[in-house]
Amino acid sequence: MTLPQQAVTIAMVVLGTVLTRFLPFLLFSAGKSMPPYVRYLGKLLPSAVFGLLVVYSLKDTAILTGNHGIPELIACALVIALHVWKRQMLLSIAGGTIAYMALVQFVF
Amino acid sequence: MDNKRTMLKKALYAAFPHTIPILAGFWFLGLTYGVYMNVSGFSFWYPMLISLTVFAGSIEFVAVNMLLGAFSPLQALAMTLMVNARHLFYGISMLEKYRGLGLKKAYLIFGMCDETFSINYTACIPKDVDRGWFMFFVTLLNHLYWFSGSTLGGIFGSFIKFDTTGLSFVMTAMFIVIFMEQWLKEDRHAGALMGIGVCTACLLIFGANHFIIPSMIAILGILTIFRKVFEKGKSLS
């Protein structure tokens, strides 16, 4: 790919990203009252989308092969336990990640 | 003028602690991304400029493959729209929160990546802190972390030697914590449980590479069809 072609490709990625971010704000601009359906989606969607992101971040876990997702299971349980216990975002994330690294590097 | 400086400082100090986990996550992922571009044969200018202008993690990794393949701008656009379609959901959720913030709003929307969205959506902003500037600093700090991590990764990529296997779990851990924060804030969990359930089902049916779009369609469909059920249960304002 030539440099101008690379520039166009990256510009397309920028355009696509900007479109997905600005579109809702352009469609439902301030002043106009939002349709109740859109308001309803805005309230209910985040919980569902956060669920989607959790599943997304675990999508490449090998359940049937390799270590059968056991390190992921243990580390996820640890994150949840730490967060229920202390509710310190960084502690939960660091604890779970260090545990996961130790598990995949030394145990499994 | 002094008042404005004090106000900005206050907003920055209030915002920074919320972004510390993102600092850790973005520096790691940004470094990884920079290194990935480095070993794919691109100089540090690429991760530097892309992280600044795109600022959307997953599609930036995908873009490396695009740049290595044949020139196909329309496919690049279509792929980006698909991978980033979830931002439409974020936008709808933030319509009210970003309303009336003037010029800052354009940057807030431009920089609305997953992590920025989830902080700005869930954070309990103290009453005496300016909401607009709080969210502005969350967005700016996250942008800077990603930008600096990617650039450094591009520059120093080839020198990193310690075993980083498994560090990518930082993303999973972060999303779990974000999910839990949302969970602890709501009194009914129908939406959250539905999200997990539907996405897991779609993952099993469509596989890891093709489940995002079906999941989003299913989530929208279920929320639309069972609106009465979800609204009745939702007593939150």
User: For chain A, how far is it from start to end, CA to CA, in angstroms?
Assistant: 41
Residue pairs between chains A and B whose CB atoms are closer than 8 Å:
258
Of residues B145 and B27, more confidence is placed in B145
Its domain, for residue B29, covers 2-161
Residue B174, C-beta contacts closer than 8 angstroms, at least 6 positions apart: A93, B21, B22, B25, B115
Chain A: give the shortest CA distance to residue B95, in Å.
6
Q: Tell whether B188 is covered by a domain.
A: no
Q: What is the DSSP string of B81-117?
A: HHHTTHHHHHHHHHTTTTTT-TTHHHHHHHT--HHHH
In a domain, B73, yes or no: yes
- Structural domain includes residue B45: yes
**Is residue B59 a part of any domain in this protein?**
yes
**How confident is residue B213, by pLDDT bands cut at 50, 70 and 90?**
confident
Task: Let me know if residue B207 belongs to a domain.
Answer: no
Query: ipTM score here?
Result: 0.82
Q: What's the mean pLDDT in B181-189?
A: 88
Band (B236; pLDDT cuts 50, 70, 90): very low
In a domain, B77, yes or no: yes
Q: Do B219 and A43 touch (CB under 8 A)?
A: no
Residue B27 lies in a domain: yes
CB atoms within 10 A of CB A82: 21
Q: Phi-psi category of B162—alpha, beta or left, where left has phi over 0 and alpha has psi -120 to 50?
A: beta
CB-CB neighbors (< 8 A) of B25 in chain A:
93
Read off the pLDDT band of A95 (50, 70, 90): very high
Q: How many domains does chain B have?
A: 1
* B89 Cβ neighbours under 8 A, 6+ residues apart: A41, A45, A46, A49, B216
Distance (Å) from the C-alpha of residue A36 to the closest C-alpha of chain B?
Answer: 11
pLDDT value, residue B124? 87
Q: Do A25 and B230 touch (CB under 8 A)?
A: no
**B75-91: per-residue pLDDT in tens?**
888 778 877 877 888 89
Terminal C-alpha separation, chain B:
37
- The radius of gyration computed from the CA coordinates of chain A, to the nearest angstrom, equals 21
State the Cα–Cα distance between residues B187 and B206, nearest whole angstrom.
32
Token representation of residue B167: 């560090």
